[in-house]
Amino acid sequence: MPADVKRLDHSQPFTFTAPSKKVNWKRLRQLDVAAMTASSDAAGAMQLFEDVAHGDVEQGSIYELSEASLLKLLKLAQLQLQYMQYKLEEKVEAEQAVEDNTLAIAASDIHQGLGALHTGLASLAPPSLGDIHQGLGALAADMSQLGSSRVAGLIQQVRAEERSAAKSALLQAIQKSKQQVDVKYGTQLQQQAGGQQEP
């Protein structure tokens, strides 16, 4: 695309704009569209891209807007669209090829990593029965020590709770007996005191 073509603002969503450029009809009449088509002269066809894309055909005179000029303009626009389609598809295919190549490289790296892991695991010697027996013996000893300490702790805790509960029950029984004695003998003493006061 020619360097003098107006760049679009890609930071904003696409919008159509009204044509504002005056078409260079003289240059258009000098073009040989048939020769461009036969030789696939894309660079020559794109020289008037700005005129085709942003040219205001309504500003032309009756002479400039002849049927031959408009037909040539339309044919030139077709050549430009074909070339732009080709370049767009070429870009999409290139991006897809890069993506496919990246995925292939990643898959190869994963495959190599799994192969290295498999080789490393295969190189490890399997444990012998003696090693397994020794390991189980050490584990049993650890579990036995752990179990003994826990059982002893539980027994001490149960005994302490039993002593606390017995002490509490004894105190409650003493208090209850004291209350019963106070009620019984306190009532009798009150009655005897009342009888002695009568004349």
Q: What is the pLDDT along the chain (199 residues), one digit of tens a residue?
A: 565 566 777 788 878 888 888 888 888 888 899 999 999 999 988 988 888 888 888 887 878 888 888 899 999 999 999 999 999 999 999 999 998 888 889 888 898 888 888 787 777 767 777 777 787 777 777 666 655 666 567 677 877 887 788 788 888 888 887 777 777 666 655 556 555 554 4
Rounded to whole angstroms, the Cα distance separating 101 from 95 reads 10
Cα atoms found within 13 Å of the Cα of residue 17, Cβ hemisphere only? 13
Task: Tell me which residue of 20, 7, 18 sits closest to 51, measured CA to CA.
Answer: 20
Angstrom CA distances, 197 to 34, 40, 150, 194, stand at 151, 145, 71, 5
> Which residues, including other chains, have CB under 8 Å from residue 135's CB and lie 6 or more apart?
127
Reported as type and span, the H/E element at residue 64 is none
In this predicted structure, what is the pLDDT of residue 3? 56
In this predicted structure, what is the pLDDT of residue 122? 76
User: How would you classify residue 156: left for phi > 0, otherwise alpha for psi between -120 and 50, otherwise beta?
Assistant: alpha
In this predicted structure, what is the pLDDT of residue 198? 47
In this predicted structure, what is the pLDDT of residue 148? 60
In this predicted structure, what is the pLDDT of residue 37? 92
Strands of the chain (E only): list them. none
Rounded to whole angstroms, the Cα distance separating 63 from 70 reads 11
In this predicted structure, what is the pLDDT of residue 82? 93
Task: Tell me which residue of 10, 90, 9, 1 sits closest to 52, measured CA to CA.
Answer: 1
Neighbours of 45 (CB within 10 A): 23
- Give 12-40 as a DSSP string: S--------BPP-HHHHHH--HHHHHHHT
